[in-house]
């Protein structure tokens, strides 16, 4: 009698649970359908390319050549068009300067459908914050990117670059092309370690720092893979997968490292002798500046805020710089006449000096134009996203309601033939002072634009100039016709098969 009663109770509970799951699933489906209806209505005035009944445009976006596919859509649908990831996530994809200005001059928050994936690693730092807290953090962090802070970093940029160039010297002796992307990535991460924590590797000697390097590299790759894998978008499912568990382990390593460095630095600052020694150093690292940051009310960043901003800086400054430098060197290999002119300019500036000074960077006019032109053709971050906090009306009278999602397709904007004549041609003179002054201020957005533009763009440009100048002084770069890069969007612009170049050492004295 008792067993049958228990069986009956269990059966009833099972039925109730099944019924509850069905009801919750049904409610979720209704919610998604209403969202789809709302998004479709919002973007009803914007025609676009045909969609797959289930995946939207996702299958085409994931294919090789998807970036240039969007450029072709931009020719077909001027200003903007809907872009669907599945049936329930829809963005208005924009690639026209006046449309960009309408959105990016306002300071709308980042789109949570994309940037919430970043929270587990970087927390609520400047990248994902919004409202008053974003404004407070931006104000506290801005002094950390002042010219006076950046000036001593030139020596750190050069130090990390020399390690990479020594490695390339050995590889070049083999006479074969090789993929430069990984080596540039290691150099960029090494540089960030020096500028953030006041230490970096010259051979990954410190085991704790070694683990951190590996964790940051792993997190970047895993994040990229998650964004393009729709079955990983659900948190509950993702954390149960080997991929998700690997991500959590890497997060723990990165967080433990950052927390420990912050604790050690705070403890050291309690000692007056150590504090004076740090203050008298030739440069302050990013952590020093964050620990000393105060607003008008003398409030400072909490430990959680400190970790979030350090992790954001490491994330934001690693792969973007790697992408920018690698594609620039590819452009130099592709256009040897511009490579030669950049090299001669740097040699003339350097003269009898054996190292770069801060003031030298401002004299690199032609190199800077070439860097900007490579950013135009190969923007490190080809796409960024916003969610409208209030309605917007565009220059042609069409509008979107608050809550709409915007995809700013920087790659398509930079190749928009209505903005850039002969957009596929590499022409550094587009960025001469005269030509740049005539151009729409939102036509060129490698660092985004408006109040939420990249806070570290001066840091990035300074590093780009030092690294690329040193590379050009030491090597002549040429293409490997059998291994041309295949563009691929994974958070940053990468190559599916790497960026393989031939390097010819220029001999003693070439890179003073």
Binding residues for heme: 454
Say if CB 198 and CB 288 are below 8 A apart. yes
For residues 162 and 164, give the distance between their C-alpha atoms in angstroms, rounded to a whole number.
5
Strand partners, 92: 82, 406
Other C-beta atoms closer than 10 Å to the C-beta of 199 total 11
Q: Which two tokens stand for residue 381?
A: 């971050």
- Going from the C-alpha of 431 to that of each of 372, 428, 445, the distances in angstroms are 7, 6, 13
Query: Residue-wise over 233-246: b if at least 16 C-beta within 10 A, else e?
Result: beeeebeeeeebee
Q: Provide the angle, in degrees to the nearest 10, between the axes of the packed helices 153-172 and 181-197.
A: 150
Percentages of the chain per state (helix, strand, coil), in multiples of 5: 60, 10, 30
- Going from the C-alpha of 309 to that of each of 11, 117, 145, 165, the distances in angstroms are 52, 16, 13, 30
For residues 498 and 490, give the distance between their C-alpha atoms in angstroms, rounded to a whole number.
13
Environment class of 4 (CB within 10 Å of its CB; exposed 0-12, middle 13-18, buried 19+): exposed
Sign, CA torsion 183/188/254/384: negative
Chain centre distance of CA 119: 15
Closest CA to 90 of 39, 29, 32: 39
Strand partners, 383: 409
Chain centre distance of CA 18: 44
Q: Residue ranges for the binding site?
A: 454
- Going from the C-alpha of 60 to that of each of 49, 68, 436, 492, the distances in angstroms are 11, 11, 34, 18
Query: Residue 43 phi/psi, 5° resolution?
Result: -100, 20
Contacts of 25 (CB under 8 A, 6+ apart): none
């Amino acid at each position: 009698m008792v067993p049958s009663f228990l069986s009956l109770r269990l059966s009833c509970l099972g039925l109730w649970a099944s019924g509850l799951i069905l009801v919750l699933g049904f409610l979720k489906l209704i919610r998604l359908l209403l969202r789809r209806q709302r998004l479709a209505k919002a973007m009803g005035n914007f025609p676009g390319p045909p969609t797959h009944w289930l995946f939207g445009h996702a299958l085409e976006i994931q294919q090789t050549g998807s970036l240039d596919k969007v450029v072709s859509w931009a020719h077909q649908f001027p200003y903007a068009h809907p872009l669907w990831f599945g049936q329930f996530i829809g963005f208005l994809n924009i690639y026209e300067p006046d449309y960009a200005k309408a959105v990016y001059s306002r300071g709308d928050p980042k789109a949570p459908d994309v940037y919430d994936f970043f929270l587990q690693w970087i927390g609520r730092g400047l990248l994902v914050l919004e409202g008053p807290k974003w404004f407070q953090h931006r104000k506290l962090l801005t002094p950390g990117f002042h010219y006076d802070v950046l000036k001593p970093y030139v020596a750190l940029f050069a130090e990390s670059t020399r390690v990479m160039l020594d490695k390339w010297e050995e590889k070049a002796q083999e006479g074969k092309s090789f993929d430069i992307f990984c080596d540039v990535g290691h150099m960029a991460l090494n540089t960030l370690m020096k500028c953030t924590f006041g230490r970096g590797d010259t051979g990954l000697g410190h085991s704790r720092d070694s683990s951190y390097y590996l964790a940051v590299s792993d997190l970047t790759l895993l994040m990229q893979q998650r964004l393009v894998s729709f079955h990983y978008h659900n948190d509950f499912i993702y954390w149960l997968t080997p991929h998700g568990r690997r991500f959590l382990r890497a997060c723990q390593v990165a967080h433990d490292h950052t927390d420990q460095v912050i604790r050690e630095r705070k403890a050291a600052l309690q000692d007056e002798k150590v504090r004076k020694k740090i203050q008298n150093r030739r440069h302050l690292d990013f952590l020093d500046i964050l620990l000393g940051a105060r607003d008008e009310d003398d409030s400072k960043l909490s430990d959680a805020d400190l970790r979030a901003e350090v992790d954001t800086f490491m994330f934001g400054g690693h792969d973007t710089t790697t992408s920018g430098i690698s594609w620039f060197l590819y452009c130099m290999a592709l256009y040897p006449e511009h490579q030669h002119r950049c090299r001669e300019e740097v040699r003339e500036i350097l003269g009898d000096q054996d190292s770069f000074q801060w003031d030298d960077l401002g004299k690199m006019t032609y190199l800077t134009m070439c860097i900007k032109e490579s950013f135009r053709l190969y923007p490190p971050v080809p796409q960024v996203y916003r969610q409208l906090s209030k309605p917007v009306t565009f220059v042609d009278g069409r509008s979107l309601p608050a809550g709409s999602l915007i995809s700013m397709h920087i790659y398509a904007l930079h190749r928009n033939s209505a903005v850039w004549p002969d957009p596929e041609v590499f022409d550094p003179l587009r960025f001469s002072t005269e030509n740049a002054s005539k151009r729409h201020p939102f036509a060129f957005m490698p660092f985004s634009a408006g109040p939420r533009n990249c806070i570290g763009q001066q840091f990035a440009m300074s590093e780009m100039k030092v690294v690329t100048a040193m590379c050009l002084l030491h090597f002549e770069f040429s293409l490997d016709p059998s291994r041309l890069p295949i563009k691929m969007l994974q958070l940053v612009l990468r190559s599916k098969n790497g960026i393989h170049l031939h390097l010819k050492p220029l001999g003693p004295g070439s890179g003073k």
